[in-house]
Amino acid sequence: MSQKKFGTGAWFFRIRYLLLLRKYCAVLIKTNQTKCFMSQKTIEIYPLFKKNKTNKETGTVYLRVKLSLSNRLESIDVSTRQSILIDQWQKGNRPIKGSTDDVKRKNAQIRRYTEQIYALFEDYKLKIKPTKDGFKAAIDRELFNITSKSNEVAKYLPDLFPRYVDLHKNDLGKRRKSRYPLVCKRIKAYCMEQYGTENFELNRLNMEFHHKFKDYLITRYQHLPETYNAYLKVLDAVVRSACESGLIQRYPFEGHKYKKVKSNSKYLNDKELAAVINFSSEDKYIQRAADVFVFAAYTGLSYSDLETLTRDNIITNGTQRFVRNQRNKTGVDFITPLGEVAERILTKYAEDPDCIMSPNPLPVVHLTDYNKRLKRVGDKCGIKFDLTSHMARHTFATTVWLGGGGKYEELKNILGHTSIKTTERYGRIREERVLSEASKILFKASDGV
């Protein structure tokens, strides 16, 4: 057989094929090298400073953990729980400047956390499918003893609040129930600023924590005694419940007593109330605010009870109509008769287009808007102090009910109070104002003698 000869064109295609094959092999080798590099599980850790949201002059030292676990780089920020001033921060292996014992202790703790995370990674990367979230959970579990939420409840203060609400949800009114998440939020902010972490261990609770948290509420939020005492009582309640359940060995706030706060609650006298009843304005929104206030002043309903009032809550018994509902604040049932003034306001808004489409028979607006409009009502009526929503309830108790000869026991049931002592406070307020007004009149009369 004769040997087949290749022409010039055949050699050209053969050489081009070999060059393309060589280029393909080079790309393949480079790709395999890249995959091999990315498949390596690596870790890098360095300190990081984050400012506190509530106090920009302080912050917390974190550890930025950069990982390569699943063919891509990822990062985790781990709080070291070390809170410092912004001037103390510096980059490097010793992130906190200074030579005091406290600084040395904090730097040593940060170094220990770093070493522990490196050691933990060496074991964790051997798992079949290691992930960033899985490694973060391993850090929380091994370094800070944080496990699932069901176990956290036995270790950290913020977790006591939802636990308490869940245990007492049938005994807490809507308004009081909402106070627990708010206090929990304040606790978390305080702990983050003071200790560099929201997870404050239960075994660290003591009277010093109680005092410092009170000071924090006063300085940070300018809360008055009535407000910060109410928040501290919420804290006391959840901690005492934890003691009863065995989560805390002993009550850490034993012996604490609350100082009695003199009530400055205001109410309208007969003349001032009459001015609001007779108030008239071309501005329908201002007029509505005045009408809702008068309705509350003749029924004793608080704003939260007005807000949730529906037509179904108005019951008819023969010729008498009354409101029957459950207080949002305490969850206590109450019953309030509807008198002539209250009925007149209900009739006025029975055909109002805005009220017809709503389950609420009254044009109740947001509390902030309501109080702004009431202030204008008070100014136009010549009332010397700012008119607010809660004054209607106090006006009902003092001027309308007690001033009309009503008794405390019936008033307690109408207002939905759990204790007669709360109701009797209205009588003391009325007596104080009577004495104050009498002294003004008597001194004025004596000046003309």
Q: What are the pLDDT digits (tens) for 202-213?
A: 889 999 999 999
> How confident is the model over 192-201, as pLDDT tens digits?
999 888 889 8
CATH class of the region 270-445:
mainly alpha
Here the tokens at position 190 are 């305080």
* The pLDDT value given to residue 258: 78
Is-contact 49 79, C-beta < 8 A? no
Give the span between the Cα atoms of 443 and 35, in whole angstroms: 96
Q: In a 3-state reduction of DSSP, which class is residue 187? A: helix
Q: Which amino acid is at 369?
A: D
**Which positions of the chain have pLDDT values less than 50?**
1-4, 6, 31-38, 148-153, 445-446, 448-449
Helices 160-167, 174-195: inter-axial angle, 10-degree rounding: 170
Q: How far apart are CA 426 and CA 402, in angstroms?
A: 9
Are the C-beta atoms of 157 and 200 separated by less than 8 Å? yes
The backbone region for 225, taken as left when phi is positive above 0, alpha when psi lies in -120 to 50, beta otherwise, is alpha
Please say whether the beta carbons of 59 and 52 come within 8 A. Answer: yes
- Which tokens sit at 293? 């206030």
What confidence score (pLDDT) does residue 51 get?
Answer: 85
| Fold (topology level) of 152-244 | DNA polymerase; domain 1 (1.10.150)
Q: Any idea where the domains of the chain sit in the sequence?
A: 42-144, 152-244, 270-445
Tokens of 237: 């309640």
Number of Cα atoms under 13 Å in the Cβ half of residue 423: 18
